[in-house]
Each structure stands twice: as structure tokens, then as C-alpha cells.
Copies of this chain bind each other. A is one copy, B any other.
Amino acid sequence: MMTAFETIQAETVPTDNENNFPAEGRLQEGLNQEITIHGSVHKIRKMSGFSFLILRTSDRLIQCVLDTGKCRVEGSLKEEACIRARALVVEEPRSKTGWELHLTEIEVLSAPEEEMPVVINGKGIDASLETLLDYRPLTLRNEKQRAIFKIQEGLCRGFRAFLEKEEFTEVHTPKIVYQGAEGGANIFRLDYFGKDAYLAQSPQFYKQMMVGVNERVFEIGPVFRAEKHDTARHLNEYTSVDFEMGYISSFRDICRMEAAMIKSSLAWLQSHYEKELALLKVRIPEAGSIPSIRFHEAKELIASRYNRPLCEKNDFEPEEEKLLCEIVKKETGSDFVFVTHYPSAKRPFYAMEDEENPEVTLSFDLLFRGLEVTTGGQRIHDFRQQLAKMERMGMDPSLFESYLWIHKAGMPPHGGLGLGLERFTARLLELENVRQAALFPRDIHRVMP
């Protein structure tokens, strides 16, 4: 006896909105069609004799005319109700698009239980950052808030498209790890079935391991830093765009690749996210050629130009990053600057030192509009060199046994970088606080929503 199975066909489910609207510059073709559409009621504005209903679809706000005499409404229509509707596309020169919808039939699919605790249907949101984040599941429905993350998506797609074209293999490495890669106490500890484990501060060890396998690899994923900073620049969980590549001839290969990746991603954005870029008035920076300066020269430059004392010798103060970017902008016009040759004292044990001066490493940061957005560099590939450096630093190599296998077994000269996606987004959009560029930010005080 055969069983009667139902059958599910592999079929895409079209969004009602697809190909429904008059195309850019081809208004005439779309006019006077009756279409089906769905979305949320973003705003209702009563006029005399009719209402304007602003419909929020997945990617735009649409002006609709609701004349209750000419439109059958099924259900209770209020702001934030989800509706499916029939409507006529009508020419309207006062609308930005040149058209508007005249609603003929509305089915309310679901209605809100309460009014929004925060007003989300204005241009922006008139509330403190705290409120914006407390009510994040709702405030993200605001047009401008939503656009931030569409642009972030676009950046990601741009980065990925570039890396795939340049023959990088995408990898998924574990976030629960037995050992921190960056050293220090800034690591979240976890009880892993009675053993200690940690949350990965970066995919560093794993992406290096994978260079031995695929030569070029990348990963876009979460990383975790238990830093106690409470600043506009820090998140305790963020999305890191990491790549690592073998057979480099200098750490400058990494810089060149990063500049090319950014340039390519920004071009992608400009051609695919025009609407959101216009809405947020984004100034797209040039990344075709990026100035570069050595760390110690940058320190001296800032000190002399602004008459500041040289305090912290081995690192930048946040203020210094801003000042350096100001100088660079003024003198070269660039919104980016590479700072190279950071002191060995401030870089991890795997950073390759400069043969000419072991006090500094073949590493770099990329600053963008006043903020560090990338750290990268060449890594040590030779086993003995790595072992010697670990011993010099008082580390116990036996704790890094499986990592060191790759050095023992043979590794090409290699290097890579990590780019903070939220930081990059924040500087691109000139948002004051990096939290504004994280969907659901995690900071020292915030672990919800």
C-alpha cells in the first residue's frame, strides 16, 4: 500500500509589492493600474473629506489617499496595523515619485493592541539615545533608523562581493574557544560543561589556520570583548569583518587590499542603496588612495601641531586619533589614514616585528573620520621566531599547542585585518555613537532588548 503524501512545490513567494510600482523614469507605464500591496499603516493624516494614509512597505513610504466613500475597509484601521490593500496608481505631481495610491479595498491583517510608547513615524525620532535603544524593536521601524541598517547590509554585501571576487573563501569559526587570541583580561568566561571556556575576541587563530588550507579566507561574524569602557566608541559585542591572506610580500599588501575593498564596497553602495544614502544625506568618502604615516611620526606630528604633551608613548589617546584625522583631512583631503608600525609593546604576540627595528611591528590601524575602524598587520609565520617571541614575552607556548602546529607544519608569509562593521557604519553615516549603528547593542550596562 502506497502512502498519500502531500507535495510541496519549490516556489518563491512573491512579495505583493514586487514590480508593482511605476519604475523610475517610466511613470506612464505604471499609471492607472490597480495593484495589490501590503504593509504597515505608518501614519494617518485626516484632511477634509479624506485622509492621507502613509503605508510603510519593506523598503519605502508610500502616500495613499483614503476616501472612505470609495474604499471598503475590513477591520479596525489604525497606525501600525498591518494591511493588505487594493489601490489605483494615480499621477500626482506634488508627490516626490510623481504618483500616489488611491485605496479601493483594505483588509486589516492585524491591529496593534496599544499605542506605540514612542513616536516612530516622524522624520527622525525625538528621543534620547537611551529611549531609542530601550524601545529598539519599535524605533527601528522609523524610516531613518531602518535606513542605517540597510546601508550596513549594503556595506557587508559590498565587502563580501569584493572578497569573493578576490578568491577569499568564507569560513565559520567557533565563537566558544579555549583560549583568547588577543590576550589580556578583556574576555568573557563561560562554564562549558564544567570546564572553562571563553567567547572569541576575534577569529585570529582560526583564520590563520585556514590560510594554511585556503590561502585566502574571510569571516563576517560576532566577536566579544569584555571591556569595561563606557564610551561612544565601544561595544562589548560587535560584527567583525575579518580577512587573512597568504603569500603577501609586505603588510602593505593588506593595506592595499583593504583600500580596494572599501572603495569597491562604497561604489556598490552608491549603485544599490541610492534611496537610503539620500535619506541620510551620506557623504561618501574617497578611498582610491589613502595617506599613510608611521605611528611615532604621527604622535610627533600631533604633539607639535597642537602643542600637546606626549603622554602615552605606545598608543593613541582617542583625542589624538581625531586630531590626526583633522590634519590629514586638511592636508590631503582624505577621510582615511593608515597608521603603521605600531609599537611591539602594544601588539599581540603573533604580530611580526620590523627587522630594521624590533621595537615596532609590521602592523597598522585604519582611522576613518577620527576613529580607528581596523587593526591589521603581518603575522609571524616562522615557528622559531614565534616561539622566541612568546618566550621573550613570558608566555607559556604549551598553552598554544594546536595554534603553533601550523607554524611547525609550515605557513606562508601572511597577514590580515579585522574591521569593525558598526564603527565603520557609524563613521560613514557620521553618527555620534557607535551604538546607533548596532541593531541591538551590547554595552557594559545593556544586554537587552
Residues of A near any B CB (own CB < 8 A): 2-3, 5-13, 15-16, 18, 38-40, 57-59, 80-82, 84, 109-114, 116-117, 134-138, 140-141, 146, 149-150, 152-153, 156-157, 164, 166-167, 169-179, 188-193, 195, 197, 199, 205-206, 209-210, 212-216, 221-222, 224, 226, 228, 236-237, 239, 245-248, 252-253, 255-257, 259-260, 262-263, 287-293, 301, 327-328, 331-332, 337-338, 381-384, 402-403, 405-413, 421, 439-440, 442, 444, 447-449
Docked complex Cα distance between A197 and B288 (Å): 43
Docked complex Cα distance between A263 and B10 (Å): 7
Q: Contact: B110 with A224, CB < 8 Å? A: no
Q: Contact: A38 with B412, CB < 8 Å? A: yes
Measured between beta carbons, the chain B residues less than 8 angstroms from A440 are 173-174, 206
Q: Which of B116, B173, B188, B289 contacts A439 (CB 8 A)?
A: B173
The dominant DSSP class at the A interface is: mixed
Measured between beta carbons, the chain B residues less than 8 angstroms from A167 are 15, 18, 58-59
Measured between beta carbons, the chain B residues less than 8 angstroms from A176 are 188, 199, 224, 236-237, 442, 447
Name 13 extra pairs, CB < 8 A, besides A138-B406, A192-B447. Answer: A3-B327, A13-B245, A15-B215, A40-B212, A82-B411, A82-B412, A109-B247, A113-B408, A157-B170, A176-B442, A178-B448, A188-B191, A206-B440
Q: Contact: A293 with B447, CB < 8 Å? A: no
Docked complex Cα distance between A338 and B152 (Å): 35
Please give the distance in Å from A160's CB to the nearest CB on chain B: 8
Q: Contact: B58 with A8, CB < 8 Å? A: no
Chain B residue at minimum C-beta to C-beta distance from A366: B8
Docked complex Cα distance between A288 and B214 (Å): 33
Asked if A447 meets B113 with Cβ closer than 8 Å, knowing A137-B406, A169-B150, A237-B176, the reply is no
Chain B residue at minimum C-beta to C-beta distance from A80: B410
